[in-house]
């Protein structure tokens, strides 16, 4: 079975790569985990050069993401990307050769709608970075809510207990920031987090 998947993989990539979300760094040439990490860090550091700014970074954890993909929804998404639905009718179980690409395609339409919030993806490793100015977290919190809603409609289960947030704030005078919750579960705020093999700390 894996031999057949390896034959299909290049064909599937050739069809879908031009249509992939530019902030999805997996399953495409000349993109790597380092590129994903560098984009996140560069965006934050560039933003923090301006006065009155800080960043909130949400490291999202999915519960068995690969195994919760609905085959019918996957077929619809493949069809929208001009991929014959017959190429996949059994979902994307973890461990299959095609699974990383199929998961990337399944979540391809899950993007941020606001320029101050970046949704960076590497297969199922997903990070939502909110670039906050003047204490206005409206866009960030709206995008978090949109992510929760999108996951609900697409049968992906967020693990609030393993999802972690980090706040990067270099302002000299700060007040306690309002906590974040996912599905009524408070999110742990961490001083550091290992993202795609790189440990990121709140002092960068």
Closest by CA position to 16, among listed 126, 98, 135: 98
The H or E element spanning position 54 is: strand 53-60
Q: For position 93, what pLDDT does the model report? A: 54
Q: Is residue 84 part of a domain?
A: no
Whether the pLDDT of residue 146 is over 60: the answer is yes
For the chain, how far is it from start to end, CA to CA, in angstroms? 44
Three-class HEC string of 64-101:
CCHHHCCHHHHHHHHHHCCCCHHHCCCCCCCCCCCHHH
**Residue 26 domain-assigned (yes or no):** yes
Domain count along the chain: 1
Inside any domain, residue 93: no
Determine, yes or no, domain membership for 78.
no
Read off the CATH number of the domain in which 64 is found.
3.30.70
pLDDT of amino acid 190: 95
Is 90 exceeded by the pLDDT of residue 154? yes
In a domain, 126, yes or no: yes
Residue 13 within a domain = no
What percentage of the chain exceeds 90 in pLDDT? Answer: 63
Q: What average pLDDT does range 100-121 have in this prediction? A: 94
Enter the pTM of the model. Answer: 0.89
Q: Is 88 part of any domain?
A: no
State both tokens at 157. Answer: 């289960």
Q: What is the pLDDT of residue 99?
A: 83
Residues 6+ apart with CB under 8 A from 33: 25, 122, 196, 197, 198
| Burial status of residue 87 (CB atoms within 10 A of its CB: 0-12, 13-18, 19 or more) | middle
Per the structure, the complete domain to which residue 142 belongs is given by: 22-71+107-201
Query: What share of the chain has pLDDT > 70, as a percent?
Result: 92
Q: Is 92 a member of any domain?
A: no
User: Under a CB-based contact definition with an 8 Å cutoff, are residues 110 and 118 in contact?
Assistant: no
List pLDDT tens digits, range 59-102: 999 987 677 888 889 888 988 888 876 665 555 555 677 888 88
Range picked from 17-26, 115-124, 170-179 for highest mean pLDDT: 115-124
């Amino acid at each position: 079975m894996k031999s057949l998947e390896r034959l299909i993989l290049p064909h599937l990539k050739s069809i879908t790569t031009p249509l992939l979300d530019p902030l999805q760094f997996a399953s495409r040439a000349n993109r790597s985990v380092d590129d994903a990490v560098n984009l996140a860090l560069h965006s934050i550091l560039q933003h923090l050069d301006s006065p009155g700014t800080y960043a909130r970074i949400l490291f999202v954890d999915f519960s068995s993401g690969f195994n919760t993909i609905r085959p019918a929804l996957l077929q619809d998404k493949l069809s929208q990307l001009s991929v014959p639905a017959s190429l996949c009718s059994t979902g994307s179980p973890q461990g299959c050769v095609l699974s990383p690409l199929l998961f990337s395609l399944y979540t391809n339409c899950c993007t941020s709608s606001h320029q101050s919030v970046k949704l960076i993806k590497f297969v199922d490793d997903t990070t939502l970075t909110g670039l906050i100015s003047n204490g206005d977290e409206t866009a960030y919190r709206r995008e978090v809510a949109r992510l929760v809603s999108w996951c609900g409609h697409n049968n992906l289960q967020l693990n609030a207990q393993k999802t972690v947030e980090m706040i990067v704030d270099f302002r000299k005078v700060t007040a306690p920031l309002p906590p974040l919750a996912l599905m009524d579960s408070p999110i742990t705020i961490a001083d550091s987090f290992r993202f795609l093999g790189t440990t990121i700390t709140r002092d960068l």
